[in-house]
Each structure stands twice: as structure tokens, then as C-alpha cells.
Amino acid sequence: QVQLVESGGGLVQAGGSLRLSCAASGRTISSYCMGWFRQAPGKEREFVVAITWSGHTTRTADSVKGRFTISRDNAKNTVYLQMNSLILEDTAVYYCAATEIYLSDRQGEYHNWGQGTQVTVSS
């Protein structure tokens, strides 16, 4: 069983950057696609970005394309989310999760959700 722990969230001004980490334990995540989702106050959880097992291919939501980048280090059993040019609308709790489905954007196809890390963007 994989346990996922997100970290790196915080308060940042609009236009700034943050790097989130998702550290896995229990077993290797190298056989899973990994994804980041987010949930803003009063809204449904939404897909942000996903990465393949090898890290060679990604899928990114239009709302963050060109600003957010996912990467992974299978040797460290960790996935990262680099967030640049942050805007107020990026304020949310960010979650990572694992899936066997190739670059899925459907949260129902993910499992082993972490507890989330809060990202707050201020003006």
C-alpha cells in the first residue's frame, strides 16, 4: 500500500512560485502514473496535471498550462509540482494521487490520496 504525503504549500503573492512535493512510502510509485488535483473553497476537486510512469509524458489542465510543471524522481519515490506565475484562482488545497490509468484526468480513477497541502495566493 502506498502512502502519499504532500508538502511545500504556503502563502505566496500573485506572480510568485511554489514547489510542491509528494513523497511516497510503503512501496515504489514507479509503476504508477501520478497526478495532482486541487480543491478550492466551495468548489469540486479538479484535475491539474499528471505524469507517466517514466516521467517522459505529461498531461496538463488548460487552466495551468504554461505555468505549472509536474516531474518525478522515482529513485526518491517523489513527485513534484512546480507552480509559477501564480494567480489568485490557484488558491486551493493540492492533492497528489496514484493511478494505473494512463494520464487520467478523472479523480475516480486515482487512489492512495494524500492529505493535501494548502496553497494560498494573495494579491
- Tens digits of residue pLDDT in 9-48: 999 999 999 999 999 999 999 999 999 999 999 999 999 9
**Cell, residue 116:** 493535501
**Cell, residue 19:** 514547489
Q: What Cα–Cα distance (Å) separates residue 99 from each residue in 26, 36, 63, 110? A: 16, 11, 22, 5
By C-alpha distance, which of 57, 56, 59, 53 is closest to 28?
53
pLDDT tens sequence across 39-90: 999 999 999 999 999 999 999 999 999 999 999 999 999 999 999 999 999 9
- Separation CA 7–CA 114 (nearest Å): 10
By C-alpha distance, which of 101, 105, 65 is closest to 83?
65
